[in-house]
Structure 1
Amino acid sequence: MKQGKFAAMMHWAAKCRMMMLLLLLLSSALMAQENTGFSIKGKISGWNDGKKLAVFNEELGGGPLATTVVKDGTFLLKGKTDEAKPYFIGEEGTEERIFVFLDNSNIELSGHKDSLREVKINGGTAHNDYKAFVDEFSPLFAEVNQLSKTAQSGSGKADSLQTLIESRINFIQEEIDRFIENKKTSAVAPFVILVTGDISSDPSMKQQRFDKLAIPAKESYFGKILAKSIADANIGQIGSIAPEFSQNDANGNSITLSSFKGKYVLLDFWASWCGPCRMENPNVVQAYEQFKDKNFTVLGISLDKDKTAWLNAVKEDKLNWTQVSDLKFWENEVAQMFRIQSIPQNYLVDPTGKIVARNLRGPVLIETLEHILGK
């Protein structure tokens, strides 16, 4: 073998060994990073030696992440969280607790037991994001709240106050968008969208803001809650696809919504004990008789709990279409799926399964069907 080739091979082997060493070092560093949890050092005046402390959140379940006791006036809590979540630090079963948006960071606490809400929390990326939100928005919300109280009391000019309130709310909306844009990777961002969701009357606002989040934020604890709340809010909305369901008729036969695909079907939520439902039934009967030969039918979902009462009402009111019920009263599973809070309610589903109208009552039901199916 020529000397030049041999030298080149030795040089390449040396580079390979160096690369292997770097990979091993990187792997070790990543493993060390993965194994790193949180460390919470604290000194709360008034928490005496021997006091039992924990990092916990009863709603999350699974028990405390860490426990310790106060010693020499201080404490140290160490553990690990799978992701940034809301936790409390204190004694379980009491109201002596400190809120922290906890991630796997080093955190220091200091304060007094009589003012735990004012405890200083240093460190923690997630909690710093949470604190930034609270510090900026609490005064803004307080201002709008005070303006609303003034308007309700009648001690100011209603029109000018309303204009001012709307102006401040618009400003808050802009600040929320700015916050989310700057914190799109933070687990706190979906939390902010959730707690400020009711400010806007636009139901699509949550979705628009959710779409701006980075994947880690979308898949975080509050990101999943936010995604579910958006999905729940879309259930039953005009333009959305009606969720598939199955429920038994009076003979025990399973009836599915998809079995009506290809037809317009009115999902009619009612019950024999519901006075307004019984008053509305003649209008539904009229619609059924008028349009049953025009690719239209009705599917009744009863919130009854007494089968005899349910079937007697079906016979008395001449409801000659498919009827289903699980006889679970307000816990009817289909009603729960559609988030039904009151009856009568109905949804008009088109042949593709899309909801095209809802809560059609009296003449409006006939007019809507005439517009869609013709007279």
Structure 2
Amino acid sequence: MKKYLLWLAMGVFLASCSEQTEKGDFKIDVHLNNVPLGQVFLEELTLQNVKVVDTTAVKDASGNFSLKGMVAEQGLYRIRFADGKNILLALDAGDMKIDGDYNNLEKITVSGSEATTEMQAFVQDISKKAMVLTEEMRAVDSLHNIKAPDSVLQTKVATLQKNEKAFQQEFFDLAAKTKNPANAVFAISQVSDPRALLENKKLIADIKTRFPKNELVKSMIDKLTEMESAATGAAGGEEAAAVKIGQEAPDFTLPDVSGKMVSLASFRGKYVLVDFWASWCKPCRMENPNVVKAYQQFKDKNFTILGVSLDQKKEPWLQAIKDDGLTWNHVSDLKFWESAVVPLYGIQGIPMNYLLDPQGKVIASNLRGEDLEAKLKEIVK
């Protein structure tokens, strides 16, 4: 989820549906109870970077502040606070008002922006379902830990996989029905399975047709085209990642959770899954139960995992390790996308992983779900 978006993170309307493309001024008036004093940033989110558009400060207990500027077309933005909390916006020209409580940003009310109202309703709905799905994942993890009968475990895992697929379909549904290009891109960018994205060619083509002039949509289409070319190259035997299968994985040294410096090379002699993730990455957290399952099954067979986080803050990183039951080695320089490992491995999005043999050579990459377990069964004896 690069720079906030995943690669970054709906009854079909016809191409004649309205598209916000006219340049114009906007103003956002915000009132939030309990909002902390300090700076507030309005940022434009693209698939390449994050751009600060306006800044202001909350100076008193009234909780009132305003942000303003000019947009060329509808885009994806966020209001970001100093502690990292944020409010997602599908921003058009015009006046918007936001009201709510800082301690419950999931339930803000928005007026003056149909697109942002739609986005906030979707985010609230998805957040509730994500919480339910997370609890299901934890339940499956607990069954692993108590070594429940295979029949019980298989039933629970099958149900979880079905619910995960339904959860992902919610994003495709929004992308298919929305009249707002920013919301379509947001929904598509949050889909965690690249294969599912590339298989939905009709939907992607429809989005392109409905919003032919929107730059955010164009950049999404370009990114998907790049992904498809990479997948085609990989299918033809050429690994698309920066680190190729058969090559020795680049070594790196990063601090672990206690601050001790740990190198990748120190794991030589074992099969190692180098797992790039972050606490803020929902697809990563959804994938973690699969990684935990594989680790529990193969940890006593000369296999281990090195978790490499792209977090910025130590506390949420450590909490995610605890909450998800990730009992292997973890390292991070806490530099987000500025981490030294990002250019070293050519990481464009997470979750991403590389499986290394005992000599440190890459034997597989981007193993998800059952693919990881199947590959380990094949090579680890």
* TM tier, smaller: 0.3 to 0.5
Where relative contact order (Cα < 8 A, 6+ residues apart) is larger, the structure is 2
TM-score (norm 1): 0.47
For the pair shown, the structure with the greater C-alpha radius of gyration is: 1
TM-score normalized with structure 2 length:
0.47
